[in-house]
Structure 1
């Protein structure tokens, strides 16, 4: 698997959101490599997207990473407790990003289980195995991705994305989740997931 180069991210969030499906998110932490296959994403299209943190050009320290160079992480906290990992798309000042909503665990499941449930992987129920990484807050907890990774360069060696194993899958396009405040934007079909993957947060 090859690490994705900067040029891979130089496209609209709508295109990038689909292109990220099937790729491998890798977090090197404490001399261990935690790996998950990206199976669900959402696109946030910036200035004209009422669901985006940068709608209408909003610019605060919290969202500054979205205005930065493509191929960086944008990590923010929701409900005061859950981290969400996003990939900055397009180019500087365009302020678009892709939320990674769900992963299929590939490597490092023991650490993921301890991070999520304080249990060894072989002690998990089937539902807990599915629940390791089937949501944006869950996957960040499982991998240990925190606000410290905000603006991290995804072409580096700490947190990065690699090309996945070549496979054929069908991409489902549907409405984004949890953005009822976004008026007409809440109905845009800008959530994408791999059909029939059991780790998708909400089929």
Structure 2
């Protein structure tokens, strides 16, 4: 079942981020279906989180989509080449987001390999946020795209992941965020070879 927009408009971005573990992210781009099981996410909150792009009400051309109602894609570039796919959550004006960091590929793997320029399946296919977007064909062109439509969406197969199988740890690459860098808002599926290598 496709997750409804109300799922993304809940107020607790940390809980949303954790509950996305075990859900399935799909794209249908240029008529090609690709997707996989979400095994790693990170939460970013607009209040009391210096790592969040909307911290202190920051509103720019890049962050404007964050202030929309939850259920749309926030895609931006890092290092000038890697697109990162985030899902905006919460209600209008409360700019929270969940970064999808890694998936276990299950659908359209041959196309994923082509997009990633790989000859065989390995963790290099989708174990990292920049790799996920490449494999799924998500670029900055999909900034603002609904995640409950027919281009990008998430499905719930009614799988419950017990707490003992989810690792909660600090987020990656946000040393600039001061004390907020230690918040345990990175969620990973325990023992998955598809989670990103960053500690």
TM-score (norm: length of structure 1)? 0.92
Contact 1:103/1:200 (<8 A) preserved = yes
Residue 183 (structure 1) aligned with residue 178 (structure 2)? yes
Deviates more, 1:103-112 or 1:159-168: 159-168
Q: What is the alpha-carbon root mean square deviation over aligned residues?
A: 1.3
Q: Residue in 1 aligned with 2:74?
A: 74
Counterpart CA distance in 2 for 1:64 and 1:168 is 33
Q: Residue in 1 aligned with 2:109?
A: 109
Residue 159 (structure 1) aligned with residue 152 (structure 2)? yes
Contact 1:37/1:164 (<8 A) preserved = no
Q: Residue in 2 aligned with 1:61?
A: 61
TM-score (norm: length of structure 2)? 0.94
Counterpart CA distance in 2 for 1:164 and 1:131 is 25
Residue 20 (structure 1) aligned with residue 11 (structure 2)? no
Residue 7 (structure 1) aligned with residue 1 (structure 2)? no
Q: Residue in 2 aligned with 1:172?
A: 167
Q: Residue in 2 aligned with 1:141?
A: 134
Counterpart CA distance in 2 for 1:74 and 1:50 is 18
Q: How many residues align?
A: 195
Q: Residue in 1 aligned with 2:94?
A: 94
- Structure 1 residue matching 2:110: 3-state secondary structure: helix
Contact 2:71/2:87 (<8 A) preserved = yes
Q: Residue in 2 aligned with 1:196?
A: 191
Q: Note the C-alpha offset of 1:167.
A: 5.0
Q: Residue in 2 aligned with 1:150?
A: 143
- Structure 2 residue matching 1:151: 3-state secondary structure: coil
Contact 1:89/1:97 (<8 A) preserved = yes
What whole-Å deviation, never above 9, does each CA across 1:120-162 have from its counterpart, x for those lacking one? xxx32xxx51110000001101111000111101111111111
Moved over 2 A (4+): 164-169
Counterpart CA distance in 1 for 2:142 and 2:161 is 31
User: Mind listing any 5+ residue stretches in structure 1 that lack a counterpart?
Assistant: none
